[in-house]
Amino acid sequence: MKFNTKTIHGGQHDVDPAYGAVMPPIYQVSTYSQSTPGGHKGFEYSRSGNPTRAALERALASIENGQYGLAFGSGLAAIDAVIKTLQPGDEVVSTNDLYGGTYRLFTQVFEGFGIKFHFIGMENADSIEQYINENTKMIWVETPTNPMMNIIDIKACAAVAKKHNVLLAVDNTFATPYLQQPLDLGADIVMHSATKYLGGHSDVVMGALIVNDKTLAEKLYFIQNASGAICGPQDSFLMLRGLKTLHVRMQRHCENGKAVAEYLANHPKIESVYWPGLSTHPNHEVAKAQMKDYGGMISFVTKGNDYEEAIKIVENLNVFTLAESLGGVESLAGHPASMTHASIPKEEREKTGVVDSLIRLSVGIEDAEDLIADLKQAIG
């Protein structure tokens, strides 16, 4: 099955044996009757498993070309489960430009449990090796990175991971499997904030993990059940509905992303535009090789690098909504330094370019002309 067909049918065969409904019913239920202890029809308690969630987990596995999918109550709950496979004393080499909440979870929760994180630039995968020692268990990659849109070569990272026998986990939130499929490039774990493009309508908070290795899947399932950060059946249904249009939405996000990035790149008041589809982007060639297209996430700074001006722009936008999050059908604008990345200390975030004047756009699927007109009136 090819990708567009998988988003609609992947793992969805015979979802309602009772009546043949084409969408899985919402099994709004916590428990299931048993004829004798252990004598059930595949489900015993909805933390451990729920038919609507199971249908979604099969769909998630299918679109990422994986064997096993797991759905969680948020993207951070999914990351939390991944790091819980580690032990005190273990070390992780992580991308230095990443979602502020991921950084907060790593540094303010898991460092307290004795796990050490090295945050480094990974545009050159060779630079990872010097941080690997006998305690290293995992490489954590976000690509494109949030919010600087750096591109990291997943295949090259996978080669380093294999050489040192450590796991490679890739946060695929910004790209989605429409643009890149990390398991095919050698990653061991794919993670999503499904809240974003997978759901696509800004109406669900959810996380996902997809893996191929059975032992790893069992470990993650154990944590999903033991720690209990699952998503509910209603949200699973909404996510399945969103997934079915992922490919058409992404196509438009990419087209509009290109139009907006090119408009900004040619604007006399704009200093820098961070979008991997621009030939001037430092990792454009890796993006070209690794991704099918370049997505709808764009960051930029105005000339003069002026904080007040950046705030004025985001406040003046009308079609773009000033809000956290990304990946929905509607266009959003954000100010990372005070919003999504506020939990990263200023001196740390400025090292990666997250300056106070940076603006991040999640370009939606409206008419590109309206988006450009909105930027034009807001930037001046």
Q: Would you please indicate which residues are annotated as catalytic (active-site) residues?
A: 47, 99, 171, 196
Q: Both tokens of residue 141? A: 């990659």
Q: Which of these ranges, 26-34, 68-76, 245-253, 289-297, lies near ligand P1T under the rule CB under 6 A?
A: 68-76
Rounded distance between C-alpha atoms, residue 208 and residue 340, angstroms: 20
Work out whether 99 is an interface residue with ligand P1T (CB under 6 A).
yes
What is the DSSP pairing of strand 297-302 with strand 167-171? unpaired
| Residue 291 C-beta: closest distance to ligand P1T, Å | 15
| Residue 192 C-beta: closest distance to ligand P1T, Å | 8
Spatial CB neighbours of 62, under 8 Å, sequence gap ≥ 6: 1, 6, 10, 11, 69
Please, which of residues 328-357 interact with ligand P1T by CB under 6 A? 340
| Residue 172 C-beta: closest distance to ligand P1T, Å | 9
Work out whether 210 is an interface residue with ligand P1T (CB under 6 A).
no
Please, which of residues 222-281 interact with ligand P1T by CB under 6 A? none
Q: State the chain's maximal CA–CA distance in angstroms.
A: 73
Q: Which of these ranges, 97-105, 235-243, 294-302, 349-357, lies near ligand P1T under the rule CB under 6 A?
A: 97-105
Rounded distance between C-alpha atoms, residue 295 and residue 359, angstroms: 17
310 and 323 Cβ atoms separated by less than 8 Å: no
Work out whether 76 is an interface residue with ligand P1T (CB under 6 A).
yes
Give the type of residue at 25: P
x/- letters, 30..59, toward ligand P1T (CB under 6 A): ------------------------------
Rounded distance between C-alpha atoms, residue 277 and residue 290, angstroms: 12
Work out whether 295 is an interface residue with ligand P1T (CB under 6 A).
no
Q: In the complex with ligand P1T, which residue's Cβ is closer, 76 or 254?
A: 76
Work out whether 171 is an interface residue with ligand P1T (CB under 6 A).
yes
Q: In the complex with ligand P1T, which residue's Cβ is closer, 146 or 302?
A: 146
Position among 69, 75, 242, 328 found at the interface with ligand P1T (CB under 6 A)? 75
Rounded distance between C-alpha atoms, residue 205 and residue 198, angstroms: 11
Rounded distance between C-alpha atoms, residue 16 and residue 112, angstroms: 45
No. of H helices and E strands in the chain? 14, 12
Position among 96, 193, 236, 299 found at the interface with ligand P1T (CB under 6 A)? 193
For 146-227, where are the E strands, in sequence order? 167-171, 189-193, 207-211
Binding-site ranges for ligand P1T (CB under 6 A) = 74-76, 99, 101-102, 142, 146, 171, 173-174, 193, 195, 205, 207, 324-326, 340
